[in-house]
Amino acid sequence: MVKGVIFDMDGLMFDTERMWDTFWAPCLEKRGLPAPPPDFYTGCRGLAGENLKRHLKEYYPQIDPQKLLDDVWAYGARQLAAGVPCKPGLKELLAWLEQVGMPRIVASSSPRGMIEMNLQTTGVVRYFHDVVCGSDVPRSKPDPAIFLEAARRLDLDPKDCLVLEDSFNGVRAGAAAGAVTIMVPDLAQPDEEIRRLYTHCCHDLLEVLDLLKTGKV
Q: Which of 209, 214, 199 is nearest to 88 (CA)?
A: 209
Beta partners for residue 132, in sequence order: 107
Between the alpha carbon of residue 19 and those of residues 10, 75, 80, 109, 200, the distances in Å are 10, 11, 9, 16, 26
Q: Count CB neighbours of 45 within 10 A.
A: 23
191 assigned to active site: no
15 assigned to active site: no
Please, what sign has the CA dihedral across residues 123, 19, 200, 106?
A: negative
Which of 8, 71, 166, 186 is catalytic? The answer is 8
What are the φ/ψ torsions at residue 182 (nearest 5 degrees)?
A: -115, 130
| Cis peptide, bond prior to residue 142, ω within 30 of zero | yes
| Cis peptide, bond prior to residue 88, ω within 30 of zero | no
Which of 10, 71, 143, 186 is catalytic? The answer is 10
Catalytic site positions: 8, 10
